[in-house]
């Protein structure tokens, strides 16, 4: 997808001057219509990928570890531990 986006950007940004011939203009319009259709399909693919990623993040935060904790509870405990260690260090 990343390569497709790069190629699409090149086609849109660096298309050159418009031709004066009607037939060539019609060809360009047809190419743009095809491009818009492809871009719509790519956008739908990207939205699907984002949804899968969001679900993975949600599930990973709900994952229960063998200790009974979740990733978010362990992250919170880790943050609290660091705060206590920094506070103890500052007191010395």
| Predicted confidence (pLDDT) per residue in 35-66, tens digit | 889 888 888 888 999 999 998 887 776 677 77
**Number of domains comprising the chain:** 1
Q: Quick one: pLDDT band at residue 27, thresholds 50, 70, 90?
A: very high
Q: Looking at the predicted structure, is the pLDDT value of residue 11 above 80? A: no
Look at residue 16 and tell me if it is in a domain: no
Domain that holds residue 40: 24-91
Look at residue 67 and tell me if it is in a domain: yes
Look at residue 19 and tell me if it is in a domain: no
pTM, two decimal places: 0.49
Q: Looking at the predicted structure, is the pLDDT value of residue 4 above 70? A: yes
Around Cβ 42, how many Cβ atoms within 10 Å?
A: 14
Look at residue 1 and tell me if it is in a domain: no
C-alpha 3/C-alpha 42 separation (Å) is 12
């Amino acid at each position: 997808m990343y390569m497709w986006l790069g190629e699409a950007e090149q086609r849109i940004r660096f298309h050159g001057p418009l031709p004066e011939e009607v037939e060539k203009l019609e060809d360009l319009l047809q190419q743009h219509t095809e491009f818009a259709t492809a871009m719509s399909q790519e956008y739908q693919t990207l939205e699907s990928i984002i949804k899968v990623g969001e679900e993975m993040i949600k599930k990973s935060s709900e994952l229960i570890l063998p200790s009974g904790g979740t990733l978010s509870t362990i992250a919170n405990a880790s943050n609290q531990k660091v705060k206590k260690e920094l506070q103890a260090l500052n007191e010395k």
